Amino acid sequence: MSRQIGKKLIQWSTTRTKSTEELVKNLTVPLKEHEQPLRILTSEEKKEAVRLKMKEIEHMKGEPPFFDMFMREHTYLRISLTEKCNFRCLYCMPAEGVPLKPKDKMLTNEEVLRLVRLFASHGIDKVRLTGGEPTIRKDIVQIVEGIATTPGIKDVGITTNGLVLPRFLPDLRNAGLTKINISIDSLEKRKFAMMTRRDGFDKVWKSIELAMSYFPKVKLNVVVIRNQNENEIVDFINLTENRNLDIRFIEFMPFGGNEFKNDQFYGYREMLNLIVEKFGEDVIRLSDSPNDTTKAYKIQGFQGQFGFITSMSDHFCNTCNRLRITADGNLKVCLHGNSEVSLRDKLRGGDSDEQLSKIIQKAVNNKKARHAGMDALKNLPNRPMILIGEYSQTPVLTHVDSNGHATQVDVSHKPINIRTAVAKGTIILTSEISNRISENTIKKGDVLTVAKIASIMGAKQVANLIPLCHPIRLDFVDTVFEHDLSNTQLHCVSTARCGGNTGVEMEALTACTIALLTVYDMCKAISQKMTITNIHLVHKSGGKTTYNIDNENQI
């Protein structure tokens, strides 16, 4: 029997048996398009490249595709329909869940479909619906039907946990659903319940069997976590022997709230090593489509296949063609990026399709060549995975609007409270300066009294000094000093307080800074060998959050 199965990239020698190490090495040769560094284009180079590219694209509908500065064309849109989920998976969200936004902050059916039509006019031809859990959305069948009938859309997929899928699946298929991914991280009931924090294995497996009767191929998503479910990898592979399943092993990724730890990470090469140890030379590397996120394999003679989504250990950013819209209407150009633009606000503000297109293209222009590495990602702020669909503040940066421009925060809706902030700093003096301040013999006058007055005056000028700060009617500002003669240091503590709807942290920090600068100015004739250091906030209260450090509440 010929061993030419699928589009094999690797031909195995029959003259000798290769070691596991040799097999894995051959099976993990990266695709050249993922190895080559991306070259960023200048604005003029990009304009010319887009012009030439547009001539080559047969499916143009009058609107240019969304190209980034690396000439990646975006044809795939993922839309989260809800932040809610009936599972609490370890890798997706905290055990206690996440704060959910009000219903009126979520995209409506009509808004989802308008965005799909807009993206489709720019060449998007594949849409996948995610959550949360998308089957929680009551109008999901109508949304699928609306997307499937949108000119230019070829594929409509859904990623689901399968818990309540059977009640929707027939109608979804009739509405135009073409692809389905079902998440299942363990084939053992007990472990399944532990990883999802819910007892639903039987219902999910029933959904998988039902889906196989409706679709020629069903994809199963398996997030692999060390010491949790890596010992089931071969069991999942065995499912493909007589079933046309595509098992996708996903590397555990850091997201907000999932408490990612390096020792939980189980890379795809380790997974593949387990599989090769079991199946040897029957492991076949298949060819990947240009924009695939999955490295595809199969076992010789098995009906289905399997693959690895290697976001952490072997990124595929060079060929990324995906854009994401969160349930609350924010556009994310990268799954692991924390930069977001609110399309919802623009829709509700009356922006035209042309205006929306410009906003989207501007966001796409800012897409980076690749996301950060694993060690950096775990320390970067990002939404919990459930809120992405596969921080939302709008926008994520509070002093930046949805177009990326500087803006002052609207505090008109905030409650009026007594708000207090305390800042602390130090100036390191010379011995002579320290002694003369103590003796009050500085020629320019009483250093500490002048510095105190200067700090109060400085706090009152914050709105004039820092562009995006609000003018505040201060109720109290005070600065006190602690003189450490033995170490020739002068410590400064400034307190600011107001009854208002925004905090006074900047006023306290400014008061402290101005006080120390005044000390420097009054003493520099003696010596300029002084160092201002360690200016920091030690307390804030009265607002949405309370902050304390060093057990210093207020002075």
Query: Mean per-residue pLDDT for 348-376?
Result: 81
Whether 407 maps to a domain, the answer reads no
Selection from 150, 149, 167, 143 nearest residue 158 by Cα: 143
Separation between Cα atoms, residue 208 and residue 184, nearest integer Å:
9
Residues 424 and 344 in one domain: no
Residues 492 and 360 in one domain: no
| Listed residues 325, 350, 379: the one ending a domain | 379
Contact (CB, 8 A) for 332 and 388: yes
Residues 362 and 479 in one domain: no
Check pLDDT > 60 for residue 552.
no
More confident residue, 484 or 288: 484
Whether 220 maps to a domain, the answer reads yes
Residues 276 and 339 in one domain: yes
Q: Which domain holds residue 339?
A: 60-379
Whether 384 maps to a domain, the answer reads no
**What is the bridge-based pairing of β-strands 294-299 and 330-332?**
unpaired
Selection from 291, 292, 324 nearest residue 307 by Cα: 292
Whether 291 maps to a domain, the answer reads yes
pLDDT in tens, 81-109: 998 898 888 877 766 666 778 889 999 99
CATH number, domain containing residue 473: 3.30.70.640
Whether 18 maps to a domain, the answer reads no
- Degrees, nearest 5: CA angle 90-261-390: 45
Domain count, the chain: 2
133 burial via Cβ count (<10 Å: 0-12, 13-18, 19+):
buried
Residues 291 and 439 in one domain: no
Residues 337 and 484 in one domain: no
CATH number, domain containing residue 261: 3.20.20.70
521 among known catalytic residues = yes
Cβ-based neighbours of 251, under 8 Å, separated by 6 or more: 224, 265, 266, 267, 268, 308, 309, 310, 311, 312, 313
pLDDT in tens, 9-47: 444 444 446 788 888 888 887 766 666 677 777 888 877
Whether 174 maps to a domain, the answer reads yes
pTM of the model: 0.62
Count other Cβ atoms within 10 Å, centred on residue 415.
10
pLDDT in tens, 386-431: 444 443 333 345 555 544 555 666 656 567 889 999 999 999 999 9
Residues 242 and 347 in one domain: yes
Check pLDDT > 80 for residue 187.
yes
Q: Which of 68, 185, 521, 550 is catalytic?
A: 521
Whether 410 maps to a domain, the answer reads no
Residues 372 and 428 in one domain: no
